[in-house]
Amino acid sequence: MSSLHLRKLKSFIFLIFCLVSASIALFFLLFILYEVIKNGLQAFNIALFSEDFKPAFLGGGGLRHALVGQFLMTIVASIIGIPLGIAGGIYVAEYGKGTRTAKLLSNISDMAISVPSIIVGTFIFGLIVMPFHGFSGWAGTISLIILLLPIIIRSTEENINQVSPLLRETAYALGAPRYLVIKDVVLKSAKQGIITGVILAISRIAGETAPLLFTSANFSQLTFDMSNVIPSLTITIYDYTNLPDQVYLNLAWSGSLLVTIVILFINILARYIFTKK
Amino acid sequence: MTNSIIEFKNLDFSYKQNQVVFNINAIIRENQVTAFIGPSGCGKSTILRCINRIHDLYDYPVYGGEILFHGEDILKEKDLITLRTRIGMVFQKPTAFPISIYENVAYGLRMKGIKDKKILDEKVELALRNSALWDFAKDKLKQLGTELSGGQQQRLCIARALAPEPEVILFDEPTSALDPVSTAQIENFIQTIKKKVTVVIVTHSMQQAARISDRTAFFLDGELLECDTTDNIFTNPQDQRTEDYISGRF
Protein backbone atom coordinates (compact mmCIF):
# COMPACT_ATOMS: atom_id res chain seq x y z
CA MET A 1 0.00 0.00 0.00
CA SER A 2 1.44 3.35 -0.97
CA SER A 3 1.85 6.06 1.67
CA LEU A 4 -0.84 8.13 -0.03
CA HIS A 5 -3.35 5.29 0.28
CA LEU A 6 -2.37 4.76 3.87
CA ARG A 7 -2.92 8.43 4.63
CA LYS A 8 -6.30 8.38 2.92
CA LEU A 9 -7.26 5.30 4.93
CA LYS A 10 -6.16 6.97 8.19
CA SER A 11 -8.14 10.05 7.28
CA PHE A 12 -11.21 7.91 6.55
CA ILE A 13 -10.93 6.02 9.85
CA PHE A 14 -10.60 9.26 11.76
CA LEU A 15 -13.63 10.71 9.98
CA ILE A 16 -15.71 7.66 10.91
CA PHE A 17 -14.52 7.92 14.51
CA CYS A 18 -15.57 11.60 14.68
CA LEU A 19 -18.95 10.85 13.12
CA VAL A 20 -19.64 8.02 15.57
CA SER A 21 -18.65 10.16 18.57
CA ALA A 22 -20.82 13.03 17.40
CA SER A 23 -23.74 10.65 16.81
CA ILE A 24 -23.50 9.21 20.32
CA ALA A 25 -23.55 12.68 21.86
CA LEU A 26 -26.36 13.79 19.60
CA PHE A 27 -28.39 10.64 20.25
CA PHE A 28 -28.59 11.24 23.99
CA LEU A 29 -29.30 14.92 23.56
CA LEU A 30 -32.13 14.25 21.15
CA PHE A 31 -33.39 11.42 23.34
CA ILE A 32 -33.61 13.76 26.35
CA LEU A 33 -35.23 16.44 24.25
CA TYR A 34 -37.74 13.92 22.86
CA GLU A 35 -38.68 12.69 26.33
CA VAL A 36 -39.01 16.23 27.69
CA ILE A 37 -41.21 17.31 24.79
CA LYS A 38 -43.34 14.15 24.77
CA ASN A 39 -44.02 14.21 28.50
CA GLY A 40 -43.99 17.96 28.84
CA LEU A 41 -46.77 18.55 26.36
CA GLN A 42 -49.27 16.56 28.47
CA ALA A 43 -49.82 19.36 30.95
CA PHE A 44 -48.74 22.20 28.68
CA ASN A 45 -51.86 24.38 28.65
CA ILE A 46 -53.16 27.78 29.73
CA ALA A 47 -53.61 26.61 33.31
CA LEU A 48 -49.86 26.02 33.51
CA PHE A 49 -49.33 29.78 33.29
CA SER A 50 -52.48 31.03 34.98
CA GLU A 51 -52.86 28.83 38.05
CA ASP A 52 -50.82 28.28 41.17
CA PHE A 53 -50.50 25.10 43.19
CA LYS A 54 -53.74 23.25 43.83
CA PRO A 55 -54.39 19.97 45.63
CA ALA A 56 -54.35 16.89 43.42
CA PHE A 57 -58.12 16.37 43.58
CA LEU A 58 -58.57 19.86 42.08
CA GLY A 59 -56.28 19.00 39.19
CA GLY A 60 -52.96 20.16 40.67
CA GLY A 61 -53.17 23.70 39.24
CA GLY A 62 -50.28 25.22 37.31
CA LEU A 63 -46.82 26.65 37.77
CA ARG A 64 -47.52 30.39 37.74
CA HIS A 65 -46.23 30.88 41.28
CA ALA A 66 -42.98 29.11 40.45
CA LEU A 67 -42.50 30.96 37.17
CA VAL A 68 -43.03 34.32 38.82
CA GLY A 69 -40.68 33.48 41.70
CA GLN A 70 -37.89 32.27 39.44
CA PHE A 71 -38.34 35.21 37.09
CA LEU A 72 -38.26 37.67 39.98
CA MET A 73 -35.06 36.28 41.46
CA THR A 74 -33.35 35.98 38.08
CA ILE A 75 -34.26 39.52 37.08
CA VAL A 76 -33.22 41.11 40.38
CA ALA A 77 -29.98 39.11 40.37
CA SER A 78 -29.33 40.27 36.79
CA ILE A 79 -30.09 43.92 37.52
CA ILE A 80 -27.59 43.91 40.39
CA GLY A 81 -25.10 41.41 39.00
CA ILE A 82 -24.66 42.62 35.42
CA PRO A 83 -23.39 46.16 36.13
CA LEU A 84 -21.20 44.89 38.97
CA GLY A 85 -19.77 42.14 36.78
CA ILE A 86 -19.08 44.42 33.84
CA ALA A 87 -17.49 47.03 36.10
CA GLY A 88 -15.36 44.28 37.64
CA GLY A 89 -14.33 43.07 34.19
CA ILE A 90 -13.38 46.62 33.17
CA TYR A 91 -11.30 46.98 36.31
CA VAL A 92 -9.47 43.70 35.71
CA ALA A 93 -8.79 44.38 32.03
CA GLU A 94 -8.20 48.14 32.15
CA TYR A 95 -7.68 50.09 35.35
CA GLY A 96 -6.14 47.29 37.35
CA LYS A 97 -4.38 45.55 34.47
CA GLY A 98 -1.21 43.87 35.64
CA THR A 99 -1.80 44.68 39.32
CA ARG A 100 -2.03 42.00 41.97
CA THR A 101 -5.63 42.82 42.83
CA ALA A 102 -6.69 42.42 39.23
CA LYS A 103 -4.88 39.12 38.81
CA LEU A 104 -6.36 37.87 42.06
CA LEU A 105 -9.87 38.89 41.05
CA SER A 106 -9.46 37.26 37.67
CA ASN A 107 -8.13 34.00 39.15
CA ILE A 108 -10.79 33.87 41.84
CA SER A 109 -13.46 34.41 39.20
CA ASP A 110 -12.03 31.56 37.16
CA MET A 111 -12.17 29.35 40.21
CA ALA A 112 -15.65 30.49 41.19
CA ILE A 113 -17.00 29.58 37.76
CA SER A 114 -16.11 25.95 38.34
CA VAL A 115 -17.28 25.77 41.97
CA PRO A 116 -20.37 23.51 42.17
CA SER A 117 -23.39 25.74 42.62
CA ILE A 118 -24.61 23.81 45.64
CA ILE A 119 -21.57 25.11 47.52
CA VAL A 120 -22.67 28.67 46.79
CA GLY A 121 -26.10 27.72 48.17
CA THR A 122 -24.59 26.25 51.33
CA PHE A 123 -22.36 29.28 51.74
CA ILE A 124 -25.31 31.68 51.58
CA PHE A 125 -27.23 29.37 53.91
CA GLY A 126 -24.51 29.85 56.49
CA LEU A 127 -23.94 33.52 55.77
CA ILE A 128 -27.49 34.84 55.42
CA VAL A 129 -30.20 32.22 56.03
CA MET A 130 -28.88 31.08 59.42
CA PRO A 131 -28.14 34.50 60.99
CA PHE A 132 -31.42 35.99 59.73
CA HIS A 133 -33.43 32.95 60.76
CA GLY A 134 -35.15 32.14 57.54
CA PHE A 135 -35.13 31.32 53.90
CA SER A 136 -35.83 34.26 51.63
CA GLY A 137 -35.99 35.41 48.06
CA TRP A 138 -33.13 37.77 48.82
CA ALA A 139 -30.91 34.91 49.96
CA GLY A 140 -31.74 33.09 46.71
CA THR A 141 -31.03 36.21 44.70
CA ILE A 142 -27.66 36.71 46.37
CA SER A 143 -26.71 33.11 45.54
CA LEU A 144 -27.60 33.77 41.93
CA ILE A 145 -25.56 37.00 41.92
CA ILE A 146 -22.55 35.08 43.25
CA LEU A 147 -22.92 32.64 40.39
CA LEU A 148 -23.44 35.40 37.84
CA LEU A 149 -20.56 37.70 38.82
CA PRO A 150 -17.51 35.57 37.97
CA ILE A 151 -18.93 34.55 34.60
CA ILE A 152 -19.55 38.17 33.60
CA ILE A 153 -16.23 39.40 35.02
CA ARG A 154 -14.26 36.83 33.05
CA SER A 155 -16.18 37.22 29.80
CA THR A 156 -15.96 41.03 30.00
CA GLU A 157 -12.23 40.77 30.71
CA GLU A 158 -11.64 38.38 27.83
CA ASN A 159 -13.64 40.46 25.38
CA ILE A 160 -11.86 43.66 26.39
CA ASN A 161 -8.51 41.92 25.95
CA GLN A 162 -9.54 41.04 22.40
CA VAL A 163 -9.71 44.73 21.46
CA SER A 164 -6.69 45.55 19.33
CA PRO A 165 -4.04 47.54 21.23
CA LEU A 166 -3.60 49.60 18.07
CA LEU A 167 -7.19 50.84 18.32
CA ARG A 168 -6.56 51.88 21.90
CA GLU A 169 -3.31 53.64 20.95
CA THR A 170 -5.13 55.49 18.17
CA ALA A 171 -7.65 56.89 20.61
CA TYR A 172 -4.90 57.99 23.00
CA ALA A 173 -2.97 59.47 20.08
CA LEU A 174 -5.97 61.71 19.37
CA GLY A 175 -5.69 63.08 22.87
CA ALA A 176 -8.48 61.09 24.48
CA PRO A 177 -8.34 60.64 28.26
CA ARG A 178 -8.47 57.10 29.60
CA TYR A 179 -12.15 56.94 30.57
CA LEU A 180 -13.18 58.08 27.08
CA VAL A 181 -10.89 55.56 25.43
CA ILE A 182 -12.61 52.85 27.49
CA LYS A 183 -16.11 54.19 26.87
CA ASP A 184 -15.83 55.13 23.19
CA VAL A 185 -13.43 52.59 21.80
CA VAL A 186 -12.84 49.62 24.08
CA LEU A 187 -16.42 49.00 25.24
CA LYS A 188 -17.88 49.76 21.82
CA SER A 189 -15.51 47.26 20.18
CA ALA A 190 -16.11 44.61 22.82
CA LYS A 191 -19.85 45.24 23.05
CA GLN A 192 -21.09 42.17 21.18
CA GLY A 193 -18.90 39.79 23.13
CA ILE A 194 -19.81 41.37 26.46
CA ILE A 195 -23.54 41.19 25.73
CA THR A 196 -23.21 37.57 24.65
CA GLY A 197 -21.37 36.76 27.86
CA VAL A 198 -24.07 38.47 29.91
CA ILE A 199 -26.87 36.57 28.17
CA LEU A 200 -25.12 33.24 28.60
CA ALA A 201 -24.57 34.04 32.27
CA ILE A 202 -28.29 34.75 32.68
CA SER A 203 -29.16 31.48 30.97
CA ARG A 204 -26.83 29.74 33.38
CA ILE A 205 -28.57 31.09 36.50
CA ALA A 206 -32.06 30.82 35.02
CA GLY A 207 -31.87 27.04 35.21
CA GLU A 208 -30.19 26.66 38.60
CA THR A 209 -31.68 24.56 41.40
CA ALA A 210 -28.90 23.87 43.85
CA PRO A 211 -28.15 27.44 44.98
CA LEU A 212 -31.85 28.05 45.65
CA LEU A 213 -32.45 24.85 47.58
CA PHE A 214 -31.04 26.14 50.89
CA THR A 215 -31.72 29.83 50.32
CA SER A 216 -35.11 30.70 48.85
CA ALA A 217 -36.53 27.25 49.62
CA ASN A 218 -39.97 26.76 48.14
CA PHE A 219 -43.53 27.90 48.53
CA SER A 220 -46.78 26.76 46.98
CA GLN A 221 -48.47 30.10 46.32
CA LEU A 222 -47.84 33.23 44.30
CA THR A 223 -45.78 35.80 46.19
CA PHE A 224 -43.77 38.87 45.35
CA ASP A 225 -42.29 39.18 48.81
CA MET A 226 -38.56 38.69 48.44
CA SER A 227 -37.97 38.74 52.19
CA ASN A 228 -39.79 35.44 52.64
CA VAL A 229 -39.63 32.01 51.09
CA ILE A 230 -40.36 32.26 47.41
CA PRO A 231 -41.10 29.49 44.90
CA SER A 232 -38.90 28.76 41.92
CA LEU A 233 -39.53 26.64 38.87
CA THR A 234 -36.50 24.43 39.26
CA ILE A 235 -37.13 23.54 42.91
CA THR A 236 -40.82 23.06 42.19
CA ILE A 237 -39.88 20.56 39.48
CA TYR A 238 -37.61 18.83 41.97
CA ASP A 239 -40.32 18.71 44.65
CA TYR A 240 -43.10 17.63 42.29
CA THR A 241 -41.16 14.61 41.10
CA ASN A 242 -41.20 13.37 44.68
CA LEU A 243 -45.01 13.59 44.99
CA PRO A 244 -47.07 10.46 44.41
CA ASP A 245 -49.77 11.96 42.17
CA GLN A 246 -49.39 11.73 38.41
CA VAL A 247 -50.71 15.30 37.92
CA TYR A 248 -47.66 16.73 39.67
CA LEU A 249 -45.34 14.53 37.68
CA ASN A 250 -46.92 15.86 34.50
CA LEU A 251 -46.51 19.43 35.77
CA ALA A 252 -42.85 18.73 36.52
CA TRP A 253 -42.38 17.55 32.94
CA SER A 254 -44.07 20.67 31.61
CA GLY A 255 -41.88 22.79 33.85
CA SER A 256 -38.81 21.03 32.46
CA LEU A 257 -39.99 21.69 28.94
CA LEU A 258 -40.48 25.34 29.84
CA VAL A 259 -36.98 25.70 31.32
CA THR A 260 -35.53 23.98 28.26
CA ILE A 261 -37.38 26.28 25.87
CA VAL A 262 -36.36 29.42 27.78
CA ILE A 263 -32.69 28.44 27.93
CA LEU A 264 -32.69 27.38 24.30
CA PHE A 265 -34.21 30.71 23.37
CA ILE A 266 -31.67 32.68 25.44
CA ASN A 267 -28.80 30.76 23.83
CA ILE A 268 -30.12 31.32 20.33
CA LEU A 269 -30.46 35.01 21.14
CA ALA A 270 -26.85 35.12 22.38
CA ARG A 271 -25.63 33.37 19.26
CA TYR A 272 -27.64 35.73 17.07
CA ILE A 273 -26.21 38.81 18.75
CA PHE A 274 -22.68 37.46 18.58
CA THR A 275 -22.73 36.61 14.89
CA LYS A 276 -24.67 39.68 13.79
CA LYS A 277 -22.50 42.29 12.07
CA MET B 1 15.52 76.57 4.67
CA THR B 2 12.67 76.28 7.16
CA ASN B 3 12.92 76.35 10.92
CA SER B 4 13.36 73.31 13.06
CA ILE B 5 10.21 72.26 14.91
CA ILE B 6 11.48 69.13 16.65
CA GLU B 7 15.01 68.55 17.82
CA PHE B 8 16.39 65.31 19.27
CA LYS B 9 19.20 65.87 21.73
CA ASN B 10 21.12 62.80 22.91
CA LEU B 11 17.91 60.77 22.90
CA ASP B 12 18.14 57.32 24.48
CA PHE B 13 15.29 54.92 24.87
CA SER B 14 14.99 51.59 26.68
CA TYR B 15 12.26 49.01 27.05
CA LYS B 16 12.85 48.63 30.80
CA GLN B 17 16.50 47.50 30.97
CA ASN B 18 16.82 46.81 27.28
CA GLN B 19 18.25 49.88 25.55
CA VAL B 20 17.26 50.04 21.89
CA VAL B 21 17.89 53.68 20.94
CA PHE B 22 21.27 55.29 21.42
CA ASN B 23 22.17 58.95 21.51
CA ILE B 24 20.06 60.34 18.68
CA ASN B 25 20.75 63.91 17.57
CA ALA B 26 18.67 65.23 14.70
CA ILE B 27 16.41 68.03 13.57
CA ILE B 28 12.94 67.83 12.03
CA ARG B 29 12.16 70.89 9.92
CA GLU B 30 8.82 72.64 9.83
CA ASN B 31 6.52 71.97 6.84
CA GLN B 32 8.73 69.28 5.43
CA VAL B 33 8.34 65.55 5.12
CA THR B 34 11.03 63.70 7.04
CA ALA B 35 11.36 59.96 6.43
CA PHE B 36 12.84 57.51 8.94
CA ILE B 37 14.31 54.53 7.15
CA GLY B 38 16.33 51.51 8.17
CA PRO B 39 16.04 47.75 8.48
CA SER B 40 13.46 46.11 10.75
CA GLY B 41 14.32 46.46 14.41
CA CYS B 42 16.55 49.51 13.89
CA GLY B 43 14.44 51.59 16.28
CA LYS B 44 12.75 53.94 13.79
CA SER B 45 9.21 53.25 15.01
CA THR B 46 10.37 53.34 18.61
CA ILE B 47 11.76 56.84 18.08
CA LEU B 48 8.62 57.98 16.29
CA ARG B 49 6.53 56.75 19.20
CA CYS B 50 8.62 58.85 21.60
CA ILE B 51 7.48 62.03 19.88
CA ASN B 52 3.87 61.76 21.07
CA ARG B 53 4.84 59.71 24.15
CA ILE B 54 2.53 56.87 23.12
CA HIS B 55 5.03 54.55 24.84
CA ASP B 56 3.73 55.95 28.10
CA LEU B 57 0.58 53.82 27.82
CA TYR B 58 2.73 50.91 28.93
CA ASP B 59 4.99 50.37 31.91
CA TYR B 60 8.28 49.88 30.04
CA PRO B 61 9.55 53.22 28.69
CA VAL B 62 12.78 54.69 30.00
CA TYR B 63 13.78 57.88 28.23
CA GLY B 64 17.09 59.69 28.22
CA GLY B 65 18.13 63.00 26.65
CA GLU B 66 15.66 65.50 25.24
CA ILE B 67 13.16 65.94 22.45
CA LEU B 68 12.56 69.65 21.97
CA PHE B 69 9.27 70.70 20.42
CA HIS B 70 9.30 74.48 19.83
CA GLY B 71 12.17 74.50 22.31
CA GLU B 72 10.25 72.71 25.08
CA ASP B 73 11.22 69.21 26.18
CA ILE B 74 8.49 66.72 25.25
CA LEU B 75 9.93 64.18 27.65
CA LYS B 76 9.24 66.51 30.58
CA GLU B 77 5.70 67.28 29.42
CA LYS B 78 3.01 66.48 32.00
CA ASP B 79 -0.05 67.20 29.87
CA LEU B 80 0.10 64.38 27.36
CA ILE B 81 -3.48 64.93 26.24
CA THR B 82 -2.67 68.41 24.91
CA LEU B 83 0.64 67.18 23.49
CA ARG B 84 -1.20 64.53 21.50
CA THR B 85 -3.70 67.00 20.11
CA ARG B 86 -0.72 68.99 18.79
CA ILE B 87 1.17 65.95 17.47
CA GLY B 88 -1.13 63.53 15.66
CA MET B 89 -0.40 59.99 14.60
CA VAL B 90 -1.47 57.53 11.90
CA PHE B 91 -0.70 53.87 12.46
CA GLN B 92 0.45 50.90 10.43
CA LYS B 93 -2.96 49.34 10.06
CA PRO B 94 -6.26 51.13 9.51
CA THR B 95 -7.81 51.76 12.91
CA ALA B 96 -11.32 53.08 12.32
CA PHE B 97 -13.33 53.18 15.53
CA PRO B 98 -16.56 51.17 15.63
CA ILE B 99 -18.57 54.41 15.35
CA SER B 100 -19.92 56.34 12.35
CA ILE B 101 -17.66 57.86 9.72
CA TYR B 102 -18.68 61.32 10.90
CA GLU B 103 -17.96 60.54 14.55
CA ASN B 104 -14.63 59.01 13.61
CA VAL B 105 -13.46 62.25 12.03
CA ALA B 106 -15.06 64.37 14.73
CA TYR B 107 -13.38 62.38 17.51
CA GLY B 108 -10.17 64.38 17.69
CA LEU B 109 -12.11 67.63 17.31
CA ARG B 110 -14.27 66.75 20.29
CA MET B 111 -11.12 65.92 22.25
CA LYS B 112 -9.98 69.45 21.49
CA GLY B 113 -13.17 70.69 23.10
CA ILE B 114 -15.08 71.70 19.96
CA LYS B 115 -18.79 71.20 20.60
CA ASP B 116 -20.46 73.55 18.12
CA LYS B 117 -22.26 71.34 15.58
CA LYS B 118 -21.70 73.82 12.75
CA ILE B 119 -17.95 74.02 13.27
CA LEU B 120 -17.78 70.23 13.62
CA ASP B 121 -19.70 69.78 10.36
CA GLU B 122 -17.39 72.16 8.54
CA LYS B 123 -14.18 70.64 9.84
CA VAL B 124 -15.33 67.08 9.25
CA GLU B 125 -16.22 67.95 5.66
CA LEU B 126 -12.91 69.72 5.11
CA ALA B 127 -10.91 66.82 6.53
CA LEU B 128 -12.80 64.30 4.39
CA ARG B 129 -12.37 66.50 1.30
CA ASN B 130 -8.63 66.78 1.97
CA SER B 131 -8.27 63.04 2.24
CA ALA B 132 -10.30 62.52 -0.97
CA LEU B 133 -13.00 60.63 0.87
CA TRP B 134 -15.76 63.26 0.76
CA ASP B 135 -17.34 62.34 -2.56
CA PHE B 136 -17.54 58.76 -1.52
CA ALA B 137 -18.62 59.29 2.08
CA LYS B 138 -20.83 62.39 2.00
CA ASP B 139 -24.04 60.33 1.80
CA LYS B 140 -22.79 57.66 4.20
CA LEU B 141 -21.61 59.74 7.13
CA LYS B 142 -23.72 57.68 9.51
CA GLN B 143 -22.34 54.38 8.27
CA LEU B 144 -19.83 52.61 10.52
CA GLY B 145 -16.22 53.55 9.81
CA THR B 146 -15.23 49.91 10.21
CA GLU B 147 -17.34 48.98 7.16
CA LEU B 148 -15.04 50.84 4.76
CA SER B 149 -12.35 49.06 2.74
CA GLY B 150 -8.77 49.04 4.04
CA GLY B 151 -7.58 51.92 1.86
CA GLN B 152 -10.65 54.02 2.65
CA GLN B 153 -10.26 53.30 6.35
CA GLN B 154 -6.65 54.44 6.25
CA ARG B 155 -7.72 57.67 4.54
CA LEU B 156 -10.41 58.03 7.19
CA CYS B 157 -7.71 57.63 9.84
CA ILE B 158 -5.64 60.34 8.18
CA ALA B 159 -8.68 62.62 7.96
CA ARG B 160 -9.32 61.96 11.63
CA ALA B 161 -5.71 62.70 12.59
CA LEU B 162 -5.68 65.91 10.53
CA ALA B 163 -9.09 67.28 11.48
CA PRO B 164 -7.91 68.81 14.79
CA GLU B 165 -5.15 70.59 12.84
CA PRO B 166 -2.10 69.24 14.63
CA GLU B 167 1.25 70.93 14.02
CA VAL B 168 3.04 67.64 13.42
CA ILE B 169 1.72 64.35 12.16
CA LEU B 170 3.52 61.06 12.65
CA PHE B 171 3.00 58.24 10.16
CA ASP B 172 4.09 54.78 11.26
CA GLU B 173 4.38 52.79 8.01
CA PRO B 174 0.94 54.01 6.92
CA THR B 175 0.82 52.10 3.66
CA SER B 176 2.31 48.77 4.68
CA ALA B 177 -1.13 47.13 4.76
CA LEU B 178 -2.39 48.71 1.53
CA ASP B 179 -2.47 47.93 -2.17
CA PRO B 180 -0.43 50.04 -4.67
CA VAL B 181 -3.38 52.25 -5.72
CA SER B 182 -4.28 53.20 -2.16
CA THR B 183 -0.58 53.66 -1.40
CA ALA B 184 -0.21 56.13 -4.28
CA GLN B 185 -3.27 58.07 -3.11
CA ILE B 186 -1.89 58.37 0.38
CA GLU B 187 1.57 59.35 -0.84
CA ASN B 188 0.08 62.13 -2.99
CA PHE B 189 -1.96 63.23 -0.06
CA ILE B 190 1.07 63.45 2.23
CA GLN B 191 2.72 65.69 -0.38
CA THR B 192 -0.23 68.08 -0.33
CA ILE B 193 -0.57 68.41 3.45
CA LYS B 194 2.98 69.44 4.19
CA LYS B 195 2.12 73.08 3.50
CA LYS B 196 0.07 73.05 6.66
CA VAL B 197 1.67 70.42 8.82
CA THR B 198 5.07 68.89 9.48
CA VAL B 199 5.23 65.22 8.55
CA VAL B 200 7.42 62.49 10.01
CA ILE B 201 7.02 59.14 8.33
CA VAL B 202 8.50 55.77 9.17
CA THR B 203 8.73 53.59 6.11
CA HIS B 204 10.34 50.31 5.20
CA SER B 205 10.15 51.25 1.52
CA MET B 206 13.11 53.28 0.31
CA GLN B 207 11.23 54.08 -2.89
CA GLN B 208 8.52 55.63 -0.77
CA ALA B 209 11.05 57.69 1.17
CA ALA B 210 12.62 58.84 -2.09
CA ARG B 211 9.24 59.72 -3.62
CA ILE B 212 7.72 61.74 -0.84
CA SER B 213 10.28 63.01 1.63
CA ASP B 214 12.35 66.17 1.74
CA ARG B 215 14.72 64.84 4.34
CA THR B 216 15.66 61.31 5.28
CA ALA B 217 17.15 59.85 8.43
CA PHE B 218 18.81 56.44 8.24
CA PHE B 219 18.88 54.34 11.40
CA LEU B 220 20.79 51.17 12.13
CA ASP B 221 20.75 49.17 15.37
CA GLY B 222 19.24 52.02 17.34
CA GLU B 223 21.70 54.62 16.11
CA LEU B 224 21.24 57.44 13.64
CA LEU B 225 23.82 57.03 10.91
CA GLU B 226 22.79 59.92 8.70
CA CYS B 227 20.18 62.63 8.49
CA ASP B 228 20.22 64.86 5.44
CA THR B 229 18.16 65.96 2.48
CA THR B 230 16.64 62.99 0.70
CA ASP B 231 18.58 63.87 -2.45
CA ASN B 232 21.89 63.72 -0.64
CA ILE B 233 21.07 60.49 1.18
CA PHE B 234 20.07 58.72 -2.00
CA THR B 235 22.68 60.13 -4.36
CA ASN B 236 25.64 60.88 -2.16
CA PRO B 237 25.47 59.04 1.19
CA GLN B 238 28.33 59.78 3.56
CA ASP B 239 28.34 56.44 5.33
CA GLN B 240 29.15 53.21 3.51
CA ARG B 241 26.39 51.38 5.44
CA THR B 242 23.76 53.86 4.23
CA GLU B 243 24.86 53.25 0.68
CA ASP B 244 24.72 49.48 1.21
CA TYR B 245 21.20 49.73 2.60
CA ILE B 246 19.71 51.97 -0.05
CA SER B 247 21.28 49.94 -2.81
CA GLY B 248 19.70 46.83 -1.32
CA ARG B 249 22.82 45.10 -0.08
CA PHE B 250 21.42 44.40 3.40
CA B182 – CA B150 distance, rounded (Å): 9
Cα–Cα dist A242/A122, whole Å: 22
Question: Quick check: B161 and A173 CB within 8 A?
Answer: yes
- Chain B partners of A188 at a C-beta cutoff of 8 Å? 97-99
pLDDT of B137 reads 87
The domains found in chain A, sorted by start residue, are: 50-275 (1.10.3720.10)
The contacts of residue A199 (CB under 8 Å, 6+ apart) are: A266, A267, A269, A270, A273
> What's the average model confidence in pLDDT over B13-33?
93
**Helix ranges restricted to H, chain A:** 3-40, 46-50, 64-90, 100-114, 117-124, 137-162, 165-173, 178-180, 187-206, 210-213, 233-240, 246-275
Q: Pick the more confident residue, A227 or B214.
A: B214
**Percent of chain B with pLDDT strictly greater than 90:** 59
Length in residues, chain B? 250
Closest CA of chain B from A265, distance in Å: 28
B41 contacts: CB under 8 Å, gap ≥ 6: none
**Least CB–CB distance from B98: residue in A168, A175, A189:** A189
d(CA A95, CA A258) in angstroms, rounded, equals 41
B138-147: pLDDT as tens digits: 898 999 898 9
CA distance A164 to chain B (A): 9
Q: Do A169 and B164 touch (CB under 8 A)?
A: no
Pairwise CB contact (< 8 Å): A184 & B88: no
Residues in chain A: 277
Give residue B1's pLDDT band: very low, low, confident or very high (50, 70, 90): low
Cβ separation A175–B111 shorter than 8 A? yes
pLDDT in tens, B65-99: 999 999 899 999 889 999 999 999 999 888 999 99
Contacts of B107 in chain A (CB under 8 A): 171, 174, 176, 184
SS3 A130: coil
Q: What is the CATH number of the domain that holds B15?
A: 3.40.50.300
Lowest mean pLDDT among A42-46, B118-122, B218-222: A42-46
Mean pLDDT of B90-117: 91
Res B186 pLDDT > 90: no
**Number of domains chain B contains:** 1
C-beta atoms of B52 and A184 within 8 A: no
The per-residue pLDDT for B205 is 87
Q: How many other C-beta atoms are found inside a 10 Å radius of the C-beta of residue B117?
A: 9
In chain B, residues 41-100 whose CB comes closer than 8 Å to chain A: 52, 54, 57, 59, 81-85, 88-89, 91-93, 95, 97-99
Smallest Cα distance from A110 to chain B, Å: 26
Low-confidence residues of chain A, pLDDT below 70?
1, 277
| Residues of chain B contacting A102 with CB distance shorter than 8 Å | none
Residue A136, SS3?
Answer: coil
Which pLDDT score is estimated for B250? 66
Residue B147 DSSP class: G
Name the residue in chain B with its Cα closest to that of A170: B95
Q: Looking at residue B177, what is its pLDDT? A: 81
**Separation of alpha carbons B183 and A41, rounded Å:** 64
DSSP helix/strand/coil, A101: helix
pTM above 0.95, yes or no: no
Query: Residues B121, B101: contact at Cβ < 8 Å?
Result: no
The range of the structural domain enclosing residue B163 comes to 4-246
Q: What is the pLDDT of residues B160-185, one digit of tens each?
A: 999 999 999 999 999 888 888 888 88
Tell me which chain B residues have a C-beta less than 8 angstroms from the C-beta of A181: none
In this structure, which amino acid lies at residue A125?
F
Amino acid at A201: A
Distances in whole angstroms, Cα of residue A115 to Cα of each of A108, A118, A141, A142: 10, 8, 17, 16
Look at residue B133 in the predicted model and tell me its pLDDT.
Answer: 86
Asked if pLDDT for residue B249 goes beyond 80, the answer is no
User: How many CB pairs below 8 Å do chains A and B form together?
Assistant: 65
